[in-house]
Structure 1
Protein backbone atom coordinates (compact mmCIF):
# COMPACT_ATOMS: atom_id res chain seq x y z
CA UNK A 1 0.00 0.00 0.00
CA UNK A 2 2.82 2.39 0.86
CA UNK A 3 4.38 1.84 -2.58
CA UNK A 4 1.09 2.76 -4.25
CA UNK A 5 0.92 6.01 -2.28
CA UNK A 6 4.50 6.85 -3.29
CA UNK A 7 3.75 6.03 -6.95
CA UNK A 8 0.73 8.37 -7.24
CA UNK A 9 2.81 11.58 -7.63
CA UNK A 10 4.93 9.86 -10.28
CA UNK A 11 1.84 8.77 -12.21
CA UNK A 12 0.31 12.24 -12.03
CA UNK A 13 3.58 13.79 -13.13
CA UNK A 14 3.67 11.52 -16.17
CA UNK A 15 0.37 13.03 -17.33
CA UNK A 16 1.72 16.58 -17.30
CA UNK A 17 2.36 17.89 -20.80
CA UNK A 18 3.91 21.28 -20.08
CA UNK A 19 2.65 24.76 -20.80
CA UNK A 20 0.07 25.34 -23.53
CA UNK A 21 0.82 27.52 -26.53
CA UNK A 22 -1.28 30.30 -25.00
CA UNK A 23 0.72 30.09 -21.77
CA UNK A 24 3.99 30.23 -23.74
CA UNK A 25 2.90 33.20 -25.86
CA UNK A 26 1.51 35.15 -22.91
CA UNK A 27 5.06 35.50 -21.58
CA UNK A 28 5.76 37.86 -24.50
CA UNK A 29 3.16 40.44 -23.43
CA UNK A 30 4.98 43.54 -22.22
CA UNK A 31 8.28 42.47 -23.78
CA UNK A 32 10.18 44.69 -26.22
CA UNK A 33 10.48 43.96 -29.94
CA UNK A 34 14.14 43.13 -29.41
CA UNK A 35 13.23 40.55 -26.77
CA UNK A 36 10.75 38.89 -29.17
CA UNK A 37 13.32 38.78 -31.99
CA UNK A 38 15.96 37.42 -29.61
CA UNK A 39 13.69 34.54 -28.60
CA UNK A 40 11.98 33.75 -31.94
CA UNK A 41 14.38 35.04 -34.58
CA UNK A 42 13.74 37.58 -37.31
CA UNK A 43 10.05 37.85 -38.33
CA UNK A 44 9.07 36.90 -41.88
CA UNK A 45 6.82 39.98 -42.16
CA UNK A 46 6.27 43.28 -40.41
CA UNK A 47 3.52 45.83 -40.91
CA UNK A 48 2.81 49.20 -39.33
CA UNK A 49 -0.50 51.03 -39.11
CA UNK A 50 -2.29 53.37 -36.71
CA UNK A 51 0.57 53.44 -34.22
CA UNK A 52 0.85 49.67 -34.04
CA UNK A 53 3.51 47.34 -35.39
CA UNK A 54 2.79 43.73 -36.32
CA UNK A 55 5.45 41.01 -36.35
CA UNK A 56 4.61 37.73 -38.05
CA UNK A 57 6.53 34.51 -37.50
CA UNK A 58 5.96 31.22 -39.33
CA UNK A 59 6.61 27.86 -37.75
CA UNK A 60 6.54 24.59 -39.64
CA UNK A 61 6.85 21.10 -38.25
CA UNK A 62 6.45 17.61 -39.62
CA UNK A 63 4.00 15.21 -38.03
CA UNK A 64 3.33 11.56 -38.70
CA UNK A 65 -0.14 10.57 -39.85
CA UNK A 66 -0.87 6.96 -38.84
CA UNK A 67 -1.89 4.51 -41.53
CA UNK A 68 -5.24 2.77 -41.74
CA UNK A 69 -5.04 -0.70 -40.13
CA UNK A 70 -7.88 -1.91 -42.34
CA UNK A 71 -6.26 -0.89 -45.60
CA UNK A 72 -7.69 1.25 -48.36
CA UNK A 73 -11.34 1.07 -49.24
CA UNK A 74 -14.17 -0.22 -47.16
CA UNK A 75 -16.92 -2.79 -46.97
CA UNK A 76 -16.70 -6.02 -48.94
CA UNK A 77 -13.93 -4.73 -51.26
CA UNK A 78 -11.54 -3.81 -48.47
CA UNK A 79 -7.97 -4.66 -49.40
CA UNK A 80 -6.25 -6.97 -46.90
CA UNK A 81 -3.19 -4.82 -46.21
CA UNK A 82 -2.32 -1.98 -43.91
CA UNK A 83 -1.95 1.42 -45.51
CA UNK A 84 1.36 3.01 -44.56
CA UNK A 85 1.82 5.95 -42.26
CA UNK A 86 2.66 9.22 -44.00
CA UNK A 87 4.15 12.55 -43.04
CA UNK A 88 2.48 15.95 -43.18
CA UNK A 89 3.80 19.45 -42.67
CA UNK A 90 1.71 21.66 -40.41
CA UNK A 91 2.04 25.43 -40.09
CA UNK A 92 1.49 27.95 -37.34
CA UNK A 93 1.56 31.70 -37.96
CA UNK A 94 2.29 33.77 -34.86
CA UNK A 95 1.50 37.48 -34.99
CA UNK A 96 2.50 39.88 -32.25
CA UNK A 97 0.97 43.35 -31.99
CA UNK A 98 3.26 46.02 -30.55
CA UNK A 99 2.34 49.49 -29.37
CA UNK A 100 5.00 51.82 -28.06
CA UNK A 101 7.67 49.19 -28.75
CA UNK A 102 6.08 46.61 -26.40
CA UNK A 103 4.00 43.50 -27.13
CA UNK A 104 0.36 44.32 -26.54
CA UNK A 105 -1.24 41.10 -27.81
CA UNK A 106 -0.65 38.03 -29.95
CA UNK A 107 -2.55 35.66 -32.23
CA UNK A 108 -1.83 32.13 -33.45
CA UNK A 109 -3.38 30.75 -36.64
CA UNK A 110 -2.95 27.46 -38.43
CA UNK A 111 -3.34 23.72 -38.08
CA UNK A 112 0.05 23.40 -36.36
CA UNK A 113 -0.74 25.73 -33.45
CA UNK A 114 -2.29 23.14 -31.19
CA UNK A 115 0.93 21.57 -29.92
Structure 2
Protein backbone atom coordinates (compact mmCIF):
# COMPACT_ATOMS: atom_id res chain seq x y z
CA UNK A 1 0.00 0.00 0.00
CA UNK A 2 1.44 3.35 -1.03
CA UNK A 3 0.86 6.50 1.01
CA UNK A 4 0.62 9.71 -0.94
CA UNK A 5 3.50 12.09 -0.13
CA UNK A 6 1.02 14.83 0.77
CA UNK A 7 -0.38 12.68 3.58
CA UNK A 8 3.07 12.47 5.12
CA UNK A 9 3.10 16.25 5.49
CA UNK A 10 -0.13 16.39 7.52
CA UNK A 11 1.51 15.78 10.93
CA UNK A 12 4.06 18.51 10.18
CA UNK A 13 1.36 20.98 9.21
CA UNK A 14 -0.65 20.13 12.32
CA UNK A 15 2.39 20.84 14.49
CA UNK A 16 2.56 24.35 13.01
CA UNK A 17 -1.10 25.12 13.75
CA UNK A 18 -1.63 28.01 16.12
CA UNK A 19 -4.80 28.65 18.12
CA UNK A 20 -6.97 31.73 17.82
CA UNK A 21 -5.50 35.09 18.77
CA UNK A 22 -6.68 37.07 21.79
CA UNK A 23 -8.70 39.38 19.54
CA UNK A 24 -10.42 36.42 17.89
CA UNK A 25 -11.31 34.92 21.27
CA UNK A 26 -12.66 38.22 22.60
CA UNK A 27 -14.66 38.91 19.43
CA UNK A 28 -16.95 36.03 20.42
CA UNK A 29 -18.29 38.23 23.26
CA UNK A 30 -19.69 40.89 20.92
CA UNK A 31 -23.47 40.84 21.16
CA UNK A 32 -23.48 38.74 24.33
CA UNK A 33 -24.76 39.92 27.69
CA UNK A 34 -22.82 41.42 30.59
CA UNK A 35 -23.53 38.34 32.72
CA UNK A 36 -21.89 36.06 30.15
CA UNK A 37 -18.85 38.34 30.04
CA UNK A 38 -18.39 38.37 33.82
CA UNK A 39 -19.05 34.62 34.06
CA UNK A 40 -16.26 33.91 31.54
CA UNK A 41 -13.65 36.55 32.45
CA UNK A 42 -14.37 37.15 36.13
CA UNK A 43 -15.15 40.38 37.93
CA UNK A 44 -13.77 43.48 36.16
CA UNK A 45 -11.16 45.59 37.94
CA UNK A 46 -12.85 48.85 36.91
CA UNK A 47 -16.17 49.99 35.51
CA UNK A 48 -17.42 53.34 34.26
CA UNK A 49 -20.78 54.54 32.99
CA UNK A 50 -21.50 57.51 30.74
CA UNK A 51 -24.00 58.48 28.00
CA UNK A 52 -25.90 55.21 28.29
CA UNK A 53 -22.78 53.12 27.82
CA UNK A 54 -20.95 51.00 30.38
CA UNK A 55 -17.23 50.24 30.19
CA UNK A 56 -15.73 47.20 31.94
CA UNK A 57 -11.96 46.83 32.21
CA UNK A 58 -10.19 43.53 32.76
CA UNK A 59 -6.45 43.04 33.32
CA UNK A 60 -4.35 40.17 32.05
CA UNK A 61 -0.84 39.79 33.48
CA UNK A 62 1.84 37.24 32.77
CA UNK A 63 5.53 36.70 33.39
CA UNK A 64 7.82 36.33 30.40
CA UNK A 65 11.49 35.42 30.13
CA UNK A 66 13.68 38.09 28.59
CA UNK A 67 17.13 37.60 27.14
CA UNK A 68 20.05 39.58 28.42
CA UNK A 69 23.34 40.18 26.66
CA UNK A 70 26.18 38.04 27.96
CA UNK A 71 28.05 40.28 30.44
CA UNK A 72 31.26 38.35 29.87
CA UNK A 73 31.40 38.81 26.10
CA UNK A 74 33.57 41.95 26.36
CA UNK A 75 35.64 40.64 29.24
CA UNK A 76 39.12 42.20 29.05
CA UNK A 77 41.89 39.69 28.78
CA UNK A 78 42.96 36.78 26.62
CA UNK A 79 39.60 34.98 26.98
CA UNK A 80 36.95 37.32 25.64
CA UNK A 81 34.10 34.83 25.67
CA UNK A 82 33.36 32.41 28.49
CA UNK A 83 30.63 30.03 27.32
CA UNK A 84 30.69 28.10 30.60
CA UNK A 85 29.29 31.11 32.50
CA UNK A 86 25.69 31.76 31.56
CA UNK A 87 23.97 35.04 32.43
CA UNK A 88 21.25 34.69 35.06
CA UNK A 89 17.71 34.38 33.75
CA UNK A 90 15.65 37.54 33.70
CA UNK A 91 11.88 37.86 33.87
CA UNK A 92 9.47 40.71 33.28
CA UNK A 93 5.81 41.27 34.10
CA UNK A 94 3.75 42.28 31.06
CA UNK A 95 0.13 43.36 31.11
CA UNK A 96 -2.83 43.74 28.80
CA UNK A 97 -5.80 45.95 29.66
CA UNK A 98 -9.01 44.79 27.98
CA UNK A 99 -11.91 47.26 27.98
CA UNK A 100 -15.37 46.22 26.83
CA UNK A 101 -17.99 48.80 25.84
CA UNK A 102 -21.58 47.76 26.60
CA UNK A 103 -24.86 49.34 25.56
CA UNK A 104 -28.13 48.01 26.98
CA UNK A 105 -26.15 45.35 28.88
CA UNK A 106 -24.80 43.88 25.60
CA UNK A 107 -21.15 43.93 24.51
CA UNK A 108 -20.74 46.43 21.69
CA UNK A 109 -16.94 46.49 21.21
CA UNK A 110 -13.61 46.03 22.99
CA UNK A 111 -10.13 47.59 22.98
CA UNK A 112 -6.74 46.19 23.96
CA UNK A 113 -3.85 48.13 25.45
CA UNK A 114 -0.48 46.81 26.64
CA UNK A 115 2.51 44.58 25.88
CA UNK A 116 0.80 41.26 26.61
CA UNK A 117 -2.05 41.74 24.14
CA UNK A 118 -0.36 39.97 21.25
Q: TM-score, normalised by structure 2?
A: 0.84
Whether the aligned pair in 2 keeps the contact of 1:67 and 1:82 (CA below 8 Å) is: no
Larger radius of gyration: 2
Per-residue deviation, 1:107:
0.6
Contiguous gaps of at least 5 residues in structure 1: none
After TM superposition, list the pairs within 5 Å mapping 1:1-115 onto structure 2.
2=3, 4-68=5-69, 71-72=70-71, 75=74, 77=76, 80=82, 81-114=85-118
RMSD: 2.0
Per-residue deviation, 1:66:
3.2
Whether the aligned pair in 2 keeps the contact of 1:32 and 1:102 (CA below 8 Å) is: yes
**Residue aligned with 1:11, SS:** helix
**Residue aligned with 1:19, SS:** coil
Q: TM-score, normalised by structure 1?
A: 0.86
Equivalents in 2 of 1:14, 1:98: separation in Å?
A: 38
Equivalents in 2 of 1:84, 1:99: separation in Å?
A: 49
Paired positions, count: 112
